[in-house]
Amino acid sequence: MTAESIPLPTTHPLDARVPALAALSRDTGGDLTVEVLPVAQSVTLRFDPSAPARAGVDAALGVPLPVRPNTWVDTGDGEVVWLGPDEWLVTSHTGNRGVGEAALRALVAGDTGVGGAATDTSAQRVVLRIGGRLARELLSFGCALDLHPRSFPAGRSAQTLLGRAAVLLLARDDRSDADGGAVFDLHVRSSFAGYLADWLLDAALEFGGSDVPSLAG
């Protein structure tokens, strides 16, 4: 294919739950929003950040690779999330081939320190965006992290548990609850997405959310 973008799925594992999740904004007077984001191109990148390949990777991403633990950066088209000393998650919401599996693999192929690998993991996770004045309180029902902006400001990330689901949590906006609340992205494995969506709907009953729909899967 000669197109600059990689085709992305048009269906989503949470399609059936979108109406119930969208209704939370109405049911809470806008104090809580849960948005199901479209499936993004995702690549798990592994290489030694001190290797010569680093300059090419930074150029392809358009931003410096985040090397501080538990941080992420916005590329304008997606995110680059630190997962470990030699591992990152690179996303693109437009399917940009320049940061796709083949392009990134070519950049790190010469790195032998940790294998220099790039693997497409687009089907592995889905993303839920939680926002509003009640966002922190909702997440606190099932997450042990201190999500106050002094401890978890915008630009921070964590691999943690929400309910009983493993999630990659990103702080996008660290406004105070009085100023409208923060915004968080939850990356969850596709196989746990339905469980997590139902957990959020159940937890939101505390704030006047609608009943959790009876859904299979």
E strand residue ranges, the chain: 33-36, 41-46, 72-74, 79-84, 87-92, 117-120, 125-131, 157-162, 165-173, 183-189
- Given a cut of 60, whether residue 55 has pLDDT beyond it is yes
Tokens of 112: 């032998």
Express each pLDDT in 176-212 by its tens digit.
Answer: 777 778 999 999 999 999 999 999 999 999 988 665 4
Instruction: Spell out the domains of the chain, with CATH numbers in brackets.
Output: 16-39+124-207 (3.30.1360.120), 41-120 (3.30.70.1520)
Residue carrying structure tokens 């309180």: 137
- pLDDT, mean of residues 156-167: 98
pLDDT bin (cut points 50, 70, 90) of residue 144 is very high
* C-alpha dist (Å) from residue 138 to 50, 116, 141, 181, 201: 40, 39, 6, 12, 10
- The DSSP letter of residue 156 is B
Is there a contact between 110 and 52 (Cβ–Cβ < 8 Å)? yes
pLDDT-derived band at 106 (thresholds 50, 70, 90) equals very high
Q: Which residues of 76-111 are buried (b: 16+ CB within 10 A; e: fewer)?
A: ebbbbbbbeebebbbbbbebbbebbbebbbebbeeb
Q: How far is CA 131 from the centre of its chain?
A: 14
Mean pLDDT, residues 113-139 taken together: 91
Amino acid identity, position 89 = L
| Amino acid in position 113 | G
State residue 106 phi and psi, 5-degree precision. Answer: -65, -35
Burial 7-27 (b: 16+ CB within 10 A, else e): eeeeebbbeebeebbebbbeb
- Checking if the pLDDT of 6 tops 60, the result is yes
- What is the rounded CA–CA span in Å between residue 46 and residue 86? 5
Percent of the chain exceeding pLDDT 70 equals 89
Q: Which of 10-14, 60-64, 150-154 has the lowest mean pLDDT?
A: 10-14
* pLDDT score recorded for residue 112: 59
* pLDDT at residue 132 is higher than 60: yes
Please give the DSSP secondary-structure letter assigned to residue 123: T
pLDDT at 42 over 80: yes
DSSP state of 11: S
Q: Which two tokens stand for residue 24?
A: 């939370």
pTM of the entire predicted model: 0.88
